[in-house]
Amino acid sequence: MAKRSALNTAEVLPALHLNLLGGVEVFWQEQSLPVSAPRMLGLRAYLHLQGAASRPELEMMFWPGQGANAVRQGLYTLRRLPGAEHWLRQEGQQVTLHADSDVQEMQTALQAGQDERALDLLSAGPLLGHLSVTGSVEFSDWLEDRRGELLEARRAVLRREAARYARLENWAQARTHLHTLLTLDPLDEHTYRDLMRLEGQSGNPDAALDVFETLRRTLHTELQSEPEPETLALLHELEGHDISGQNRARLLTPEGLRTLELDTLHGRQEEQVEVLARLQDKRRALVQGMAGMGKTRLAWSVAEHHLQAGQNVLWLELGGDPPEVLLSALSEPLGLKQVPPRTQPRPLHAALHGKQISLIVLDNAANSYALSVLLEYLPPDRPVLVTSRLRLPRLPTLTLHRLPRQDALNLITDHLEGQTTDPDSLNALCALLGDHPYALRLAAITLQQNARTPSELLQTLTDAPHALGAEHSIKALLAHSTAALDAESYEAYLGLGSLFTPQTTPELLALALRRDPETTEQALYTLTQHGLTTRDAQGGSDTVTFRMHELTWHDARAHASLQPRTVAQAVRQYAHANTGTPENLYAELPNLTAGAQHAEKHAPDELVQIMTGWLGGRYIAAQGFPLGYVSLLERSIERVEFQQNWSQSGFLTAKLGDIHQFILGDREKSLSTRQFPKILSGMEKRGQ
């Protein structure tokens, strides 16, 4: 049967009224009419909502196969009701019902832009409530379609009302409407995204992460699927994870404990005991806190506890990188040639057991989705310690706050190395900086470098513009520290803040700044002397890297002096200059991968050049390859094949074949990947 447009209404005769939302009630002159048989109730609702209907249509809809007599009997039942001569009309084969209804009122409210009234009516429940007419498939289908239309109308109004309340900053009411939408469709990612945005706008980012985690688990459980790219992009925006990790899992052993050069841990003894207890009891623990509160140092103290007990520890810095990159990095020190599927994590579990890993540390987690995927891979009985500035959901959490005052004083006096100080001024300085561990270390170094007294530094920070509260005082301290730098060192400070990651070799930064490496290294060393970077010399190698603390890097990024395109070009130049020295390339792996990713989006030819320089020498044989970035090499091959550059295609596909053969151990895939017939065919076409 061809269906007419839904929810049409005939002329209104107010004396007959139908309540159809949430159930079925029929009133004539405000008195309830008898006849509660589902078929008769459905018949009146159909005639009202669908409009005039023919007797054959009613037979097909309500009495299929029972003939015209069944229709006549049904209509006779209606004609015996009070007022039927006014609201029920029969002209030949056509039957018409004249009435008004709550559905009609709802439609009128929508047309008039009265969403609140329409929503009140729609919230009463589904059309005709739980009414069901047995043996009438056509009516059931019609009713299902009409219910679907009203459900969509309700969802549209809920979404509009939620947006309206959000504009008015009535977060509670907007949140209520969005939660109602989720009860109507628990798998609607659009609504989850709206709720995530709402929590972010209302200053509740922790709740936004919790909403995402609920969505992720629901999709995984119900559909065995992952969130859409748009949802992940929104999560990235809300979390603000612009720092990539080093993506190098480190296998720490008791024998290597003496080589770890760590600052003294001031205070936090109670927190360490609590973290160890949670790992023992729950096997999972999150150390959370703002940048510079000592999360990583506390995690190192927990790792030291395991190492001193003769146990091995696996350490990985996460940053904001995606799951596939982190899983690849985690697999490498375990000897796994490829990341196992999430449904079959046993190889990873067996590798952790084989390496006798007693603790896994996931440091600086800035991507809650990647962390969730990673945790699903790890055995539930293996202790995992996570550090993050985010309040990640569903993890036993210990939040690091300001140091106790005596511990703060001990920290700053230890870094002053016996320098005579004024206790009152130091106490006031600790208070001004919020007893913030990183800020206190920087203050002590600033006092030494600038030969100033605590009272002088205290006065400088107090007089700084907007120096109200610890956060502004820390910014004032950074401004004061950088103001003391010479021109070359300040240029290096801004240049490092322009890089894709907060670490660099002097050679890469020199290329970006167009300065000579010696001057650049001296400038970076000056930054280290001022407490703005740390210096790391690789054992058995001449390679030196400098790294900024996250807090300092964000300050430098706010004044970044280089464009991303300039940094990507420097990465390409560095890759070609160091083709023959794999250890130098490995030292810059975070910037290499980040530069390649930037080039993939903005300058594909630059990507080809980066990959060519990176893999032009012995890098794969000496350092392997981060499997999470194989797609970058594949994109490079696609680019040169599109340009019909067959010689470069042959070179890059050979490197891809090396990865499959020597890293993944798949000789068959290696041979097929190299694609020599395709390359030779292309060369023949060009007469090469």
* CATH code, domain carrying 568: 1.25.40
pLDDT band at residue 493 under the 50/70/90 scheme: very high
Q: Quick check: is 76 in a domain?
A: yes
Please give the distance of CA 600 from its chain centroid, rounded to a whole number.
21
| Lowest-confidence segment of 68-82, 109-123, 445-459 by average pLDDT | 445-459
665 burial type by CB count under 10 A (0-12 exposed, 13-18 middle, 19+ buried): exposed
Q: Quick check: is 676 in a domain?
A: yes
Is residue 533 scored above 50 in pLDDT?
yes
Tokens linked to 330: 């985690």
Tokens linked to 126: 């589904």
Task: Looking at the structure, tell me whether residues 254 and 395 fall in a common domain.
Answer: yes
What integer pLDDT is reported at residue 115 of this predicted model? Answer: 94
CB atoms < 10 A from the CB of 518, how many? 10
The secondary structure element, H or E, covering residue 503 is: strand 503-504
Using CA atoms, how far apart are residues 109 and 100, in angstroms rounded to an integer? 14
Q: What is the mean pLDDT of the chain?
A: 88
Residue (of 409, 395, 246) closest to 320 by Cα position: 246
Residue-wise pLDDT for 541-596, tens only, equals 688 999 998 889 989 998 888 999 999 999 999 999 999 999 999 999 999 999 99
Q: Quick check: is 477 in a domain?
A: yes
| Lowest-confidence segment of 89-93, 189-193, 209-213 by average pLDDT | 89-93
- The full length of the chain comes to 688
Task: Looking at the structure, tell me whether residues 260 and 369 fall in a common domain.
Answer: yes
Task: Looking at the structure, tell me whether residues 456 and 596 fall in a common domain.
Answer: no
Task: Looking at the structure, tell me whether residues 259 and 383 fall in a common domain.
Answer: yes
Q: What is the pTM of this model?
A: 0.80
Task: Looking at the structure, tell me whether residues 65 and 106 fall in a common domain.
Answer: yes
Using CA atoms, how far apart are residues 364 and 243, in angstroms rounded to an integer? 9
When comparing pLDDT for 573 and 241, which is higher? 573
Q: Quick check: is 183 in a domain?
A: no
pLDDT band at residue 242 under the 50/70/90 scheme: low
Task: Looking at the structure, tell me whether residues 415 and 354 fall in a common domain.
Answer: no
What integer pLDDT is reported at residue 234 of this predicted model? Answer: 93
Contacts of 200 (CB under 8 A, 6+ apart): 208, 238
Task: Looking at the structure, tell me whether residues 343 and 427 fall in a common domain.
Answer: no
Task: Looking at the structure, tell me whether residues 326 and 439 fall in a common domain.
Answer: no
Residue (of 512, 539, 510) closest to 522 by Cα position: 510
Q: Which of 464, 483, 502 is the last residue of a domain?
A: 483
Q: Quick check: is 268 in a domain?
A: yes
When comparing pLDDT for 135 and 186, which is higher? 186
Q: What would the mean pLDDT of 343-354 be, rounded to a whole number?
A: 88
Using CA atoms, how far apart are residues 601 and 157, in angstroms rounded to an integer? 39
What integer pLDDT is reported at residue 671 of this predicted model? Answer: 56
Is residue 12 scored above 80 in pLDDT?
no
Q: Quick check: is 277 in a domain?
A: yes
CB atoms < 10 A from the CB of 30, how many? 7
Q: Quick check: is 479 in a domain?
A: yes
Task: Looking at the structure, tell me whether residues 258 and 394 fall in a common domain.
Answer: yes
Q: Which of 399, 428, 460 is the last residue of a domain?
A: 399
Is residue 443 scored above 90 in pLDDT?
yes
CATH code where residue 276 lies: 3.40.50.300
CB 296 within 8 A of CB 268: no
Q: What would the mean pLDDT of 594-618 be, rounded to a whole number?
A: 94
Using CA atoms, how far apart are residues 499 and 244, in angstroms rounded to an integer? 11
Using CA atoms, how far apart are residues 126 and 385, in angstroms rounded to an integer? 48
Tokens linked to 640: 């040169």
Q: What would the mean pLDDT of 82-88 be, rounded to a whole number?
A: 91
What integer pLDDT is reported at residue 100 of this predicted model? Answer: 92
- Helices and strands, number each (H, E), in the chain: 34, 16
Tally of structural domains, the chain? 4
Tokens linked to 22: 């949430």
Q: Which of 149, 181, 204 is the last residue of a domain?
A: 149
Residue (of 647, 578, 580) closest to 608 by Cα position: 647
Percent of the chain with pLDDT over 90: 66
Using CA atoms, how far apart are residues 624 and 615, in angstroms rounded to an integer? 10
Residue 206 forms beta bridges with which residues? none
Task: Looking at the structure, tell me whether residues 630 and 671 fall in a common domain.
Answer: yes
Q: Quick check: is 180 in a domain?
A: no
**Structural domain of 587:** 563-685
Task: Looking at the structure, tell me whether residues 268 and 370 fall in a common domain.
Answer: yes
Residue (of 236, 39, 246, 218) closest to 138 by Cα position: 39
What integer pLDDT is reported at residue 59 of this predicted model? Answer: 92
What integer pLDDT is reported at residue 231 of this predicted model? Answer: 94
The C-alpha angle 665, 668, 674, rounded to 5 degrees, equals 100
Task: Looking at the structure, tell me whether residues 48 and 125 fall in a common domain.
Answer: yes
